[in-house]
Amino acid sequence: MEKKTGKSSFAKLHHVGVVVKDIKKAVAYFESLGIGPFEGPGGAQFFKISFKGELHGKPAEWTTTISNARFGDVELELLEPTAGPQSLKESLDKTGEGLHHVGFITDNIEREKANFKKNGIGIWTSGGAGAEFFYSDPSPVGGLAIEFRTMGPPPPKK
């Protein structure tokens, strides 16, 4: 096998996404362990983002409640599916709370999508709300998705 040259798209983990049923309870639990603080833009403990994009290749709109805590350079991202059809809700319904995805930053979403498609990996969902993102189909081992996203402006305060 020929060794690839150049920087890997997976060189630096940005965040770990965990789907939860109740974000307030999840934040309280992790903070009771000393993990945190959990916060979003403007210092709010959690925030909602409405997305427009695709789910299984079809148009979809959904809202997710999010909270983040930092571990050095990596974030723990808690995600509660709030409204609308979304991959997070599908995971929650199928396997319950837990690890949903690992996330990486890219400056070229289309390049990453093309690489996944070239290697036979489907796109589960994609969209944007100030930044673009997509999740791969869940892996056959552990049901883990891989997310690539661009960095956009922080979401508006609600």
Segment 78-128, tens digit of pLDDT: 999 999 999 999 999 999 999 999 999 998 999 999 999 999 999 999 998
Tokens of 50: 């409405």
Q: Which amino acid type is present at position 54?
A: E
Instruction: Dump pLDDT digits (tens) for 5-37.
Output: 456 678 789 999 999 999 999 999 999 999 999
Delineate the domains of the chain, giving CATH numbers in brackets. Answer: 15-64+75-149 (3.10.180.10)
- pTM for the full model? 0.87
**Cα 64 from Cα 62, distance rounded (Å):** 7
Structure-token pair, residue 104: 């990486």
Higher pLDDT, 37 or 158: 37
